[in-house]
Structure 1
């Protein structure tokens, strides 16, 4: 079950949906009618998030975890008892809210406590060298949350706010009290002492022969050279605790974040390498590439290219490979007044996490486009786009750029040159813009 707490504004928004019986800060009660509708649509193969969206629910408010758990519960009830199993006969679910309305004084005290907790959290993030935006990608451990709540309670004398602050922090009240019990403190002190000893041993293996190693190499080095056996999970925990980081072959954190919480959908290959269809605005190709500039700095370029004319219709540059890189390119495509989409137009990409994302696919539908994807691991299915990146890196002056702004100016200059002045043999020796006008005049 999701631990998300609904705000008063979110409760008001959810209550407006006719399929909602009641809403409280911690949960929603849906109507029996919606549960039946969900089962019917789900048995047709519809995804839970799509069913909720089509019936007026905001997925960002409810949260995908809550949707999944509701769907799982309803399917199980339907399997065991049929339609009857979907009726809500639980005590307290008659539509009346199950929580007590607080007085103005209590509400003010709670808001002040929440504010103090947020201030303490911000201070912790600053000490760790993180800004608020970066912190959204970092989850605090239960231990850190217990310490934060304890700090706020002690500093502002909020002994009667333990339950409320634990709820806001997303930890249990019993866990909080257990953490600060005498027995738990003694156990933590004992484990910390053992961890310090383990850290020194692991560091020896980490620096063995002057070559830094990952957890598995450390485990094998300890066993093979020092004749010490440590569990792999323990090694990883110690490395995380003391920030012992191996710089070799680190996973891309952005790809992991993109795929972590959403239902991604891979779509069929509608293009089948038929890139040249002699219709401007019919086949749109998109992809992302990395650019090294200055002194080892890295940026990312996302483009949308017309498959028939080779014209770059939209592009976006960022210093991080987040979902915004792909969705903002679509926004720029929409704003481009020169782009006239043909009937049956669709956008083609590889199966990267950006393009399988529900958010990206929603943007594509809003533009009235279809969507196509290359076969897994087959770069030839998007060859013209890959070819453009190759020419771009050869011809643009990327490396000399010292700053991101400088890089953006150079990319803008090259895109203008490429679309308007770079003649191409396969376009009847015309530029992409000239060839686009040629096709439109011939139609």
Structure 2
């Protein structure tokens, strides 16, 4: 190496050094520090997992709220509460997608982590009230929980700045997949923790459909997760650094002149939009059709989808994302047809086994598609635009919980799952034409 060549970044930037890594280029081995990149990934992933926990905490609690004495939530009101985090999650992603180049990774993560403590504390408090508070307060807390969905569009593009393109498929799949585990974590933890007393606090009386009375401690999940939120905030403050990727809002909006921004938006709505929407409504679907006893299985869909997203990241790095997006669309369509078949052919009540099999398969193929699309976007777009496209597509797909809550509130289940099957199949054709077929204009 020439004596005038720069020293490796790790030597020039001590671990306790500057808040901004001015001399940073992941594509240049001498200007990329893998230790900094991976520590950034793990801290942001912890905070992203907690973000998904708070985003889906109302969805895990709401099915039980209507059973409390002194509370009177109709099924329609419950679906509206489930819809609110999806509404604000999508809207806030449109804001957070702009923040990484404006604020930098560290300041954005610290701000986001601090704000998320508010809905954690709010949901731990409101469920302890002896009678139902104003419905407006519940709506406000549900809207606040949407912050957990909004930050995704800042965290993921920011992480992409720290890794070379050859590693972004694996890095982003790990972050998004482990972050998505927050959905299954909250859906698994809530039914368990609400069943016993913690910290000597009083519980709430619940009345089942058959008149059976029991005691629930619905404040426990918020109290359990709140200390983890504080840890995430401290780690963001002490560990994270920012990289000098800077652009103003006008520069970031140039992604909308590229047709592939819109194609990838349609495809990501198929994968994450359906994943998030079905995960948010899964508990209500199970309770209203198969009884409250089946809620112990609600975590399974998001767990399988998140695991698939992690496992397929390296495969997408090796084989490209386009072909796996096609597989995702075909698989989701076939799985939705299975659920639809179970709904239409059942004598009386649909089969729980058929319903669960179809649903878990939808989540599985959605997880594959979430990994593949996040491999495609950094490949199709230059680095600065890729972050913006990731943020934009994620913002639109985050409306999934709102759209599916409204769909199940006003449409029949066969109509909804028929729409899922048709949309996913159309997306598979789209992905094949633009990204997977021989000679495609943007093979990825």
TM (norm. structure 2) is 0.25
Structure with higher helix content:
2
TM (norm. structure 1) is 0.25
Question: Which structure has more RCO (C-alpha within 8 Å, separation ≥ 6)?
Answer: 2
Structure with higher strand content:
1
